[in-house]
Amino acid sequence: ISVGGKGQHVALAVNRLSKGSAAVAHFLGRKGDEGAKMYELLKADGIEQEVQWHPGVTRTCTTILEASGRMTEIIEPSDAIPAAEVDALINSLVETVKSCKGVALCGTFPPGVQEEVYARLALSVGPDTILLLDGWKGVEKTLATKRVNVLKINADELRWLTGETELDAAAKTAMHQYMAPGAILAVTRGASSALLYSNTKTDASIQVTEFEITAVKALNPIGAGDTCSSVLLYALCAGNSAGDAFAFALAAASASCLNIRGAHFKAADAVNLYQSVKRLPPRTL
């Protein structure tokens, strides 16, 4: 039994590099003992939490991982979050995010939470805050704020978001429609390779760099994408270039696959894998 969820994984992953550097804001249910268990597990890992308790249950996911690598997830339904609890957490967060160096908005919304919540948080972050969005369902209003600095999604999610089938065309649509000058679009493609799209503040051209990733014998791939988002934001906040940050994030994601617990990895493994990430010559769209 371990902690899951995109935001929780993001906090756990960055904690592997800098203990206590990240906090997670989330809803937890008082019904049953799942919410209390999640709180205690995260606390034991040194994760600071901003929790809004609600009267419902915290959903659980049962994952069946076969020796062949095939994975099946059985996800239980989640109770709707009452409006009063939603307002209480968001009203607190709009103040918190103003002073954060980096903020990650992760995943889909639980029942009872509307898309406007992410958009409101995006508009509330400080002017120097790096805002990363890891999500594709119901994020149009958030992207329309033009405040997202980093959009990290996988290739299929990018195609769904834009309605384009060809990946470069989808990236170009997303960058021109949603991303402000200087923003980056980080697109993962499983274990094969990944793409980093960036624009400039002077013209409409888009540069794309492909990263080839060393294959690893995965023990558990759950949380690898969240690890990538987490380490990408962490490295950008530390002042690394977008290319260096994404390469290290991909290495950390691969390292997390070597651990049975989602979003857990050894920093030494990430550093070793980073040395083998290959960057292809950039091209311009």
pLDDT value for 73: 80
* Residues present in the chain in total: 285
Q: CA dihedral defined by 112, 154, 228, 12, rounded to 10 degrees?
A: 20
**Relative orientation angle of helices 224-237 and 6-15, to the nearest 10 degrees:** 50
pTM of the model: 0.94
Q: How many CB atoms lie within 10 A of CB 88?
A: 14
Structure tokens at 41: 């597990």
What does the alpha-carbon distance between residue 117 and residue 85 come to, in Å, rounded to a whole number? 12
pLDDT value for 109: 85
Structure tokens at 135: 């999500």
- Classify 114 as helix, strand or coil: coil
Per-residue pLDDT of the chain (285 residues; tens, 9 = 90+): 678 889 999 999 999 999 889 999 999 999 999 999 999 999 999 999 999 999 999 988 888 877 777 778 888 888 899 999 999 999 999 999 999 999 999 988 888 999 899 999 999 999 999 999 999 999 999 999 999 999 999 999 999 999 999 999 999 999 999 998 899 999 999 887 999 999 876 667 899 999 999 889 888 888 999 999 999 999 999 999 999 999 999 999 999 999 988 899 999 999 999 999 999 999 998
Contact 58, 4 (CB under 8 A): no
What are the angstrom distances between the C-alpha of 158 and each of 5, 48, 65, 134, 188? 20, 31, 26, 11, 10
pLDDT value for 202: 67
What are the angstrom distances between the C-alpha of 41 and each of 34, 51, 61, 265? 10, 14, 16, 17
pLDDT value for 1: 66
What are the angstrom distances between the C-alpha of 75 and each of 58, 60, 61, 95? 11, 6, 4, 33
| Max CA separation in the chain (angstroms) | 55
Which of 146, 127, 145, 134 minimizes the C-alpha distance to 231? 134
Which residue type does 256 have?
Answer: S
Residues 6+ apart with CB under 8 A from 34: 57, 58, 59, 60
